[in-house]
Structure 1
C-alpha cells in the first residue's frame, strides 16, 4: 500500500462521523452559545446602566460636592486640573476607556476658572442652563462625547467624557469573558468525552459479539444489557433474529416440500415416457400418454403456484389501483363457470352493482382465483358455491366470502389448511375435501397458503367459517380499504 493510499485512508477515518466527536462539538457549540449569551447580557446591562444610572452623573456631582467649600478660583482650578490628570492616568491604566475626560469650570457669574486645553480646538457646545442634571451627547472630530452639566452656589461644571462605541465595548468584554470559558472548557469537555466513550463501550461490545457470529447463526444475541437504554436494542435484535430464524426455517421446509412435490410428477413423467417408448400395445401407450399429460399438468400447476407464492412473499408491493371490485368479480366467476358446469355445480354471486376502491389487484386475483378453484374442485357434484361481496357499515373493510354446501373440513384439520403443502389424511377430490393438497393428481397444497399470504399483503386476513345451510365450509376474507370511491 502506497503512502498516498495510507494517508487517504487515515483522512477518511478521521473524517468519518463519530458520536464522541459529535458530542464534543456539541459542547463546544454550547460554550460559544454561552459566550454569546453572556456578552449580550453584559451589553444590555451596560446600556441600561448608562441610561438609568450613569456613572458620569455621579462623577460630576461628586466633583461639585468636593468644590463647594473651595472659595479661591485658583485652588478650584488646581483641584480640577489634578482630578483630570488622575482620571486620565486611570483610564489609560484600565485600558478600556477611550480618550481623555475634559473639564470646564466657571464661577457663579459665568467667569471661566478652568478649561482643558483640548476644549479650545474641539469646538464643543457651551453650557446651557436647561441641560443641568441631564447627560447630553455631542460629536467633535468624529468622537462622541457625553456631557455632564451641573452647578452649585459657587461653581458651574461641565465634564466631557469620550463615549465608548458599542463595537469597542463588545470587543473588550468578548475578550474579557473568553479566558474564563477557555479555563472551564477542559473541565467540561473531558467528563463529556469520557462519559460518551464509556457509554459507547456496551454498544461496541455488542457489535463485536455480532461480528464474531457465523453467517448462519441466527440464535439470540445473548448480550446481557445492563443499561436501560440498551435493553430495547437487545430485545429488538433478538426479535429480528427470531423472525429471521422462523423465516429461514419456513423457507427451508418450503424448499424441501417443493422438491418432494416436484419429484413425484417428474417420476411419473419419466415412467410414462418410458412406457410410451417401450410398449408395443397401443392401449398402453394411450394410457401412458394420458398419465403423462396429467403429470405435466400437475407439474405446471405446481410451478405456477410456487411462482405466485414467491411473488407474494416479496417485500415490495405494487401500487394499488382503482378497481370496480364487483364487476371484476363477475368476470372472475365467468371464467370459473365452465369448470363448475362440467361438475354441475351452481355458482352464485351476491354483490352490489358497482363497488370501486383502491386495491392490490395481483393479490386480489390470487385470493379469488384460488378460493374459486378450491371450491369448484372439491365440492360435490351438483352442489352450490356462493360468493358474497360487501363493505362493512363503517366503509373501512371489504368483505369477501366463498361458501359451499359440501362435506366441509374436519375440525382437527381446520387449523392446518393454510399451511404450505399440508394434506389432510386420506382426502381426495372425489371425497369433497377442501384442502386442495388432498388430491393426489391435481392438488399442490399451496392454494390456501397463497390465499392467506395474499390477504396479509393487502393488510387483511382470511378465516374459516360455516358453509351453506349448515354444511360445507366458508372462507371469509377481510381487506381494509385505504380509500373508497363511488
Structure 2
C-alpha cells in the first residue's frame, strides 16, 4: 500500500513522544483511576447499606404500619394492590432495580387475602422481622416477612446482582468525569506548554551557537527547575573547554618535541649522504640511530598516553600481581645491569587481584624505566608491593640525584623534564603514570628515595571487593 511522503511525515511527527501529550495522558489515566476508586467506593457503601440498614426491612414495616388501622380485609387487599401497582410502575420508570416486586397479605390466622399476579408459593418462609434470600422464578429474591395484630405481610423483592450494580454506576459516573475533564485537561495542557517555553528557548540558544563556541551558555534561567540544567551544561562546556585546551597544548608540545629528533635525523642523513669521511659517516649513523630510537620512544609514549585518555576502558583481568611484577623486573634487568644498577623486589609470593592490566603495565614500566634511566652508576632501585585488603600499594625508590622539592609538583606535567639531568627523555613517562593511576581510581605521590637520597613514587590502587 502506497502512502504519500507528506502523510508519512505527518504521522511520524504525530507519533513522536512529547511531554505535553505525556502530561495529558497522565491526567486522563488519573481520571480513569478516580472513576475506578469512586465506583469501588459506591460498591462498598452499597454492600454495607444492604448488610447494616436494609431498605426492604424499613419499607415492609412502613407498609404494615399503614395497614394497621384497616380492619376490613377487602379494604386492606385493595390498599396493598394499589401499593403493589404503584411501586412496580415507579420501579419500571426508574429502571434501577430488576424484575417485579411480589406481595402477599394474610390475616392473623394465615388466610391469604391478597397475592400479586404471578405469586407462587415460596420455597421457604422467612422468619418474622428478618430478610432472607430465596430463588423465585429462576431469580434470587430478597424476602421480607412481618406481621402486626391483624395482618401478615410478605414481600419478594428481586435482588440486583453486583455486576448490574457496577455496570449501571460505572455508566452513571462517566458523564460527570467527561464534564470535569476539559476544566482539568486544558489548564494542564496550557501549563505544560508554557512551562516548556524556557526549555525551548535554551535549546534554540544552544542550537544557534557556533560549533567551536564552548563558552558558558549564559541563559540566566529564572526558573528553579532549569537552573540545574544550565549549571550542568556550563560545567560540561567548561570540561570540554579544558579538554580542548589541554589537547591543543598537547599537540603543540608533541609537535615541538618531535621536531628536534626529526631535525637531527635530517641533519645526520645529510651528513651520511654528503660526507667523504668514513669516521663522520659512522658518527652520523650513530646519532641517526639515537634520534630514530628517541622518536620511536616518543611516538610510543604518545600512543600510550592517547590510549589512557580514551573513555573506553578494557575489562579488568585476574592476575597474580606479584608474579607479573617479577617478570616485569626481569625485562628491566639487562638495562639495569648495563648501568651497574641493582634491582630489588620486596613482594609477597602471590598476590591475586582483578586489575586493568594495560594501565598497570604503563605504571610499572614507566616508573622502573625512569628509576633506571636517571639512577647513577652503581646505584640501587628498590620496588615494593603489598596490599592491606582494600588498596594495592606499589613503591619504586632509588638513591639517584632525586628531584628537588620545588619541582616535585610539576613532574607529572606532560613534557616536563626538569633540569640538571644527563639522561635523555621525552617528559611523558610520569604523565603516563599519573593518567594510568587515575584511570584505575588510585593516587600517586612523590616522596623520599632510599637512605634519604633519590626519589620515590608511591602508588595506591583500590582493589575490587571480589579480589
**TM-score bucket (shorter structure):** over 0.9
Partner of residue 133, structure 2? 137
SS in 2 for 1:413: helix
Q: Deviations over 1:241-265 (max 9, x none)?
A: 1111111111111111111222211
1:401 aligns with 2:383: no
CA contact (8 A) 1:321 1:360 kept: yes
1:344 aligns with 2:326: no
Partner residue of 1:174 out of 170, 174, 181:
170
1:244 aligns with 2:244: no
Partner of residue 432, structure 1? none
What CA distance in whole angstroms lies between the structure 1 residues aligned with 2:364 and 2:182?
70
What CA distance in whole angstroms lies between the structure 2 residues aligned with 1:426 and 1:466?
18
CA 1:149–1:127 in 2, change beyond 3 Å: closer, same or farther? farther
SS in 1 for 2:246: helix
What CA distance in whole angstroms lies between the structure 1 residues aligned with 2:329 and 2:241?
40
SS in 2 for 1:459: coil
Partner of residue 48, structure 1? 48
Partner residue of 1:418 out of 389, 396, 412:
412
What CA distance in whole angstroms lies between the structure 1 residues aligned with 2:407 and 2:464?
34
CA shift at 1:345, angstroms? 1.2
Partner of residue 433, structure 1? none
In structure 1, the gaps of 5 or more residues are 430-438
Partner of residue 462, structure 1? 444
Q: Deviations over 1:389-448 (max 9, x none)?
A: 1113xx10001011111121122221111111113245432xxxxxxxxx2xxx111111
Equivalent residues in 2 for 1:334-483, closer than 5 Å: 334-392=330-388, 395-429=389-423, 439=424, 443-483=425-465
SS in 1 for 2:330: helix
1:125 aligns with 2:102: no
Moved more, 131-140 or 110-119: 131-140
What CA distance in whole angstroms lies between the structure 1 residues aligned with 2:430 and 2:339?
21
What CA distance in whole angstroms lies between the structure 2 residues aligned with 1:483 and 1:55?
71
SS in 2 for 1:97: coil
SS in 2 for 1:220: coil
Partner of residue 88, structure 1? 88
Partner of residue 295, structure 1? 291
Q: Deviations over 1:15-68 (max 9, x none)?
A: 111111111111111110110111111111111111221111111100111111
CA contact (8 A) 2:122 2:136 kept: no
Q: Deviations over 1:105-141 (max 9, x none)?
A: 011111111111111xxx341673x621111222233
What CA distance in whole angstroms lies between the structure 2 residues aligned with 1:89 and 1:141?
20
CA contact (8 A) 1:356 1:484 kept: no
CA 1:127–1:157 in 2, change beyond 3 Å: closer, same or farther? farther
SS in 1 for 2:157: strand
What CA distance in whole angstroms lies between the structure 2 residues aligned with 1:11 and 1:89?
55
Partner residue of 1:200 out of 179, 196, 203:
196
What CA distance in whole angstroms lies between the structure 2 residues aligned with 1:138 and 1:127?
7
What CA distance in whole angstroms lies between the structure 2 residues aligned with 1:407 and 1:277?
40
CA 1:32–1:212 in 2, change beyond 3 Å: closer, same or farther? same
CA contact (8 A) 2:123 2:134 kept: no
SS in 1 for 2:393: strand
RMSD of the TM alignment (CA)?
1.5
CA contact (8 A) 1:358 1:483 kept: no
What CA distance in whole angstroms lies between the structure 1 residues aligned with 2:173 and 2:3?
44
In structure 2, the gaps of 5 or more residues are none
What CA distance in whole angstroms lies between the structure 2 residues aligned with 1:106 and 1:158?
9
What CA distance in whole angstroms lies between the structure 2 residues aligned with 1:417 and 1:68?
113
* Paired positions, count: 466
SS in 1 for 2:343: strand
SS in 1 for 2:408: coil
Partner of residue 97, structure 2? 97
SS in 2 for 1:275: helix
CA 1:157–1:330 in 2, change beyond 3 Å: closer, same or farther? same
> Scaled by the length of structure 2, what TM-score is found?
0.97
CA shift at 1:364, angstroms? 0.6
SS in 2 for 1:414: helix
